[in-house]
Structure 1
Amino acid sequence: MDAIKQWLSQNSLSLSVLKYLAWVIFILVVVQFFRRYIKKNLPDSTTRYRSQKGIEIFGYLLLIILTLSYFTGNIKDFTLAIGLFTAGITITLQELILSIAGSIYIFVVKVYKPGDRVQINGIKGDIIDIDSIYTTMMEIGEWVTSDNYSGRIVKLSNAFVFRGPIYNYSQDFPFIWDEFDLPIRYGSDVELAKTLFINVATEVLNEYTTDSLAKWKDVVGKYYIEDAVVAPTLAISMTDNWISFNLRYIVDYKKRRMTKHVLNEKIHQEVEKTNGKVVLASATIEIIRLPEVTIQK
């Protein structure tokens, strides 16, 4: 016992480090215990997810307080300790600090949340997880067309929230505008075509138009933005080959591809029912008149 006491008295710094590590391990174990307890006992996925993240952030803050108070000897020395701590690790741990700050910023400001569809740093996808350092996305696009999943899971540093624009497809207004062109041959009944296209769009998009109207009013009331038309609209332009009908409409951000498919299918069916009064155009060459050729013998 005397030898142990003598060693402890001669190695007070080592003892302090061991005590500190013991506290760190204890805090981490407690945090993990509560995370698992919440995961098993909270049925609602949203509440469970937020609670787990809250406990994780609380654990990090507790470790920071423990570190500062333990090595400064007095919790009143926080200002000096934080200054020294920041000066020492700003350069070497800049990315980590920005990532942790970014995670706090994401949760406080609500830049995005799990389930949102966003585009960050040129990568588009659905947010499937946000932790203290990384945002995890299920990628959309790349080698697949439209808004289909590519199958790749992408991890992005939370520091990107400070480095560039973030495009959120679903925050505040879970609808987007989409459009496509319908080429109609010259000589077709233009008024019939207009009526046909608008009627089909109104029928298919009625639910989206109704739901988006209330949401858009909230957006106009919240932000400095002009009011917009959410009902389907047509714009006509004349080209060298055909009359181009541009159909613009609003749609759920996750159903853009399927909605465009349904619209094209129904419009094609209705055009076929006009018995030639409305004809879809294509890039073909129509010979109107052959030149006369005189052959001299």
Structure 2
Amino acid sequence: MIKDISEYIETHWQISPAIQHKIFYSLVAILILLLVRYFALQFVFKRFHDAKHRYLWKNSIKNTYYILLILIILNIWIDRIDSLGTFLGLVSAGLAIALQVPIVNLAGWLFIMIRKPFEVGDRIEIDDNSGDVIDIRFFQFTINEIGNWVDSDQSTGRIIHIPNGKVFSQSQANYNQGFSHVWNEIAVNITFESNWKKAKSILNEIVNKHAEELSFSAKRKLVEASKKFMIFYSNLTPIIYTSVKESGVQLTIRYLSLPKQRRRTEHIIWEEILERFNQEEDISLAYPTQRIYFDGK
């Protein structure tokens, strides 16, 4: 059958035997690599059940497949090392001019893979876009958008594809790398007539109730992060700051939260604040008001 294919190609396409052999070996190499990739993916899907582990292995197999394919095809079609160097030099010069943006994106992919400013699953902010990284490819990475018109870092339902080259020109904020928690603040305003000391005591009780376990976890993560980054905090426990605003006394709760749990913890804390303050006659929430005075006439 192979002989018949070769005869058909030689008769109808008038291709030299050397080129025919290269085409044939190229097709065989592609077929073998596809089979190896298929069985490797089947093994991964059977071996790993966690979605993140599956994705990482699948991505590694895909990248390895393309790299091996390029190397094998080059080896088949380029006969000598010196011609390989000449060929690569010409190709590099042409690509540098015609494909400047894709090359920058490919370099960005290498930077992401080696330096790891972020990984799949991390929550990041780059170029005014925030979201959870869900995919990293040769020329772009993809995030599941958060924020924008949705409050408190919740998902919008959109995915954003960002060129890898952005890592060279835009600063990136990583919510997960190094220190895995973020500081969150809740401002509670009460009237000047309220018993602010009692209110502060109630808030302190509430926030410690919901953040105690979180702060213990943060200490362990901070010790790990300090081995790699210059990150030092003297106090990881919740704290409440007091300040005076135009409408009343502001008590600001500051506590640690996991990035993806910020809205949930804030929701729980606010509900308990409203319930507890409603039971106290000498504590009232403040809000902007206007007073109108008449001269009595």
Q: Same fold (TM over 0.5)?
A: yes
Matches within 5 A, 1:102-141: 102-141=108-147
Alignment size in residue pairs = 290
Deviation digits for residues 49-98 of structure 1, max 9, x if unmatched?
33322222222222332344334312465544432221121222233333
Q: Which SS does the other structure have where 1:274 is aligned?
A: coil
1:73 maps to which of 67, 74, 79: 79
Q: Does 1:280 align with 2:285?
A: yes
Tell me the CA shift for residue 150 of structure 1: 1.3
Distance change (3 Å), C-alpha of 1:20 and 1:154: farther
Checking the alignment, whether the CA contact within 8 Å between 1:99 and 1:158 is kept in structure 2 is yes
Sequence identity of aligned pairs in percent?
27
Which residue does the alignment assign to 1:184? Answer: 190
| Structure 1: gaps spanning 5 or more residues | none
Checking the alignment, whether the CA contact within 8 Å between 2:30 and 2:69 is kept in structure 1 is no
Q: Which SS does the other structure have where 1:283 is aligned?
A: coil
Which residue does the alignment assign to 1:56? Answer: 62
**What is the CA–CA distance in structure 1 between the aligned matches of 2:128 and 2:21, rounded to whole Å?**
48
**What is the CA–CA distance in structure 1 between the aligned matches of 2:22 and 2:99, rounded to whole Å?**
22
Moved more, 17-26 or 219-228: 17-26
Which residue does the alignment assign to 2:248? Answer: 242
Moved more, 72-81 or 105-114: 72-81
Which residue does the alignment assign to 1:154? Answer: 160
1:203 maps to which of 196, 200, 209: 209
Tell me the CA shift for residue 230 of structure 1: 2.0
Which residue does the alignment assign to 1:173? Answer: 179
**What is the CA–CA distance in structure 2 between the aligned matches of 1:261 and 1:245, rounded to whole Å?**
17
Tell me the CA shift for residue 232 of structure 1: 1.4
Tell me the CA shift for residue 260 of structure 1: 0.9
Q: Name the aligned partner's letter for residue 198 of structure 1.
A: N
Distance change (3 Å), C-alpha of 1:62 and 1:6: closer
**What is the CA–CA distance in structure 2 between the aligned matches of 1:23 and 1:159, rounded to whole Å?**
35
Deviation digits for residues 194-242 of structure 1, max 9, x if unmatched?
2111111111111211111221233233222342532111222212221
Moved more, 6-15 or 202-211: 6-15
Taking structure 2 as the reference length, the TM-score comes to 0.84
Checking the alignment, whether the CA contact within 8 Å between 2:26 and 2:76 is kept in structure 1 is no
| Structure 2: gaps spanning 5 or more residues | none
Tell me the CA shift for residue 176 of structure 1: 0.9
Which residue does the alignment assign to 2:20? Answer: 15
Q: Does 1:96 align with 2:95?
A: no
Moved more, 19-28 or 257-266: 19-28
**What is the CA–CA distance in structure 1 between the aligned matches of 2:129 and 2:32, rounded to whole Å?**
36
Distance change (3 Å), C-alpha of 1:92 and 1:19: farther
Q: Does 1:291 align with 2:291?
A: no
Taking structure 1 as the reference length, the TM-score comes to 0.84
